[in-house]
Amino acid sequence: MDLILDLTFPELASLLKEWNEPDYRALQIWQGLYQHFWKAPEEFTNIPALLRTRLKAELNFAPLIPSTILQSSDRQTIKTLFRLPDGKAIEAVLMRYEKRNTLCISTQVGCAMGCVFCATGQMGFTRHLSSGEIVAQVMHYARLLYDQGEVVTNVVVMGMGEPFHNYDHTLAAIDRLNDPDGYNFGARRFTISTVGLIPAIRKFTSEKRQVNLAISLHAADDTLRASMLPVDKRYPLDELLQACQEYVAATGRRITFEWALVNGVNDTPEQAHLLARKLKGLLCHVNAIPLNPTEGYSGLATTRQHADKFKEVLSLSGIPCTIRLRRGMDIRAGCGQLASKS
């Protein structure tokens, strides 16, 4: 059964035309999905009962079934394990801050990139998510927050999977969520994170979108980076940074570099100095976070002292750097910890 959230508005309108429904029905259903957050045909009381019955018979309105819901001890982070129609599973996260409600959503079941410190990478790759399965994660939390009088403020595409490995479905989902007649979520409130798939970065650059771009860097030389991120063997660091230069030049937008600080591995002053030289002159920001532990990697999180020194080296070289606080550690909801385990 097709997912209704997989349909673009023109596709939905075309389907309803085939059913001999008046043109305005498509907008009613679209707004019901994306503005009222209705999740079942029975809720669409503004359309005839006969049409509701047909929608229920021919389209799947519930591609995600919440299976396990965990809340952190500080009540600021919620992680949800969703079951998919084929029995596979993914995780997504809601992180609450003082003035923000940020979602971390997934684009794949597992991941093919094999980053050694990432729980999803340790799983291996199972399949891509459809655009509707990506959209449904946002709608789930939008509905939850709406019921509490709150809204989603940011969406980071940093959950399970490599978004640019599933480029078409990921960007189609963002476009659907950005639709002004639907959810109308601003493009600048999305951030896509990639390990550095250069052809996809160049395609993204050519589209000149307002969506934010983040690169998982984690090392400033190819030897170290390849030992942590196998993708570096195919797309070496200097070629990746050249693509980043092209992105900034074409869009005028700042790029973010993500860095998981591993004690004694990539949190050294030597790595910081080398990174500063590599990034000199580039409009960017380094977003560093102490490593979150995973079962398949023995590395340890950096110390506060090492993190502060790393930041100091970059700052003195004119490279803005933030050391992020780790969130949801007690429910394994931090960066790199998502995996479809119940």
- Report the C-alpha gap between 318 and 337 in whole angstroms: 31
Q: Using N-to-C axis directions, what is the helix angle for 237-251 and 198-207, rounded to 10°?
A: 0
- Report the C-alpha gap between 213 and 194 in whole angstroms: 8
Confidence of residue 338 (pLDDT cuts 50, 70, 90): low
Measured from the Cβ of residue 75, the count of other Cβ atoms closer than 10 Å reads 8
* pLDDT at position 150: 96
Given a cut of 90, whether residue 328 has pLDDT beyond it is no
Q: How far is CA 138 from the centre of its chain?
A: 10
Given a cut of 70, whether residue 341 has pLDDT beyond it is no
> Active site includes 295?
no
Given a cut of 80, whether residue 120 has pLDDT beyond it is yes
Using DSSP's 3-state secondary structure scheme, residue 89 falls into strand
* pLDDT at position 340: 55
pLDDT tens, position by position, 287-322: 999 998 888 888 999 999 999 999 999 999 999 999
Given a cut of 60, whether residue 207 has pLDDT beyond it is yes
Given a cut of 80, whether residue 330 has pLDDT beyond it is no
Tokens read off for 252:
């005028």
Confidence of residue 281 (pLDDT cuts 50, 70, 90): very high
> Active site includes 91?
yes
Confidence of residue 119 (pLDDT cuts 50, 70, 90): confident
Q: Which domains does the chain have, with CATH numbers?
A: 2-60 (1.10.150.530), 65-331 (3.20.20.70)
pLDDT tens, position by position, 84-109: 999 999 999 999 988 899 999 999 99
Q: Where do the H-state alpha helices sit in 179-303?
A: 198-207, 222-228, 237-251, 269-279
Q: Which residue has the tokens 């977003």?
A: 287
* pLDDT at position 56: 97
Residues with Cβ within 8 Å of 52's Cβ and at least 6 positions away in sequence, in order, are 41, 42, 44
Using DSSP's 3-state secondary structure scheme, residue 260 falls into strand
Catalytic residue among 21, 91, 133, 162: 91
Work out the average pLDDT over 8-22. 98
pLDDT tens, position by position, 143-196: 999 999 999 999 999 999 999 999 999 999 999 999 999 999 999 999 999 999
Name the percent of the chain in helix, strand, coil, to the closest 5.
40, 20, 40
* pLDDT at position 280: 96
Catalytic residue among 115, 118, 244, 335: 335
Given a cut of 90, whether residue 327 has pLDDT beyond it is no
> How many C-alpha atoms does 277 have within 13 Å on its Cβ side?
10
pTM of the model: 0.95
* pLDDT at position 342: 45
Work out the average pLDDT over 8-14. 98
Q: Where are the beta strands (DSSP E) in the chain?
A: 2-3, 59-60, 65-71, 77-83, 89-96, 101-104, 108-110, 125-128, 154-157, 190-194, 212-216, 255-261, 284-290, 321-323
Residues with Cβ within 8 Å of 126's Cβ and at least 6 positions away in sequence, in order, are 88, 108, 109, 110
Is the C-alpha dihedral spanning 314, 315, 319, 322 positive or negative?
positive
* pLDDT at position 336: 55
* Burial class of residue 51 in the structure, from the number of CB atoms within 10 Å of its CB (0-12 exposed, 13-18 middle, 19+ buried): middle
- Report the C-alpha gap between 77 and 156 in whole angstroms: 14
- Report the C-alpha gap between 282 and 240 in whole angstroms: 13
User: What is the chain's alpha carbon radius of gyration, rounded to the nearest angstrom?
Assistant: 21
Measured from the Cβ of residue 1, the count of other Cβ atoms closer than 10 Å reads 10
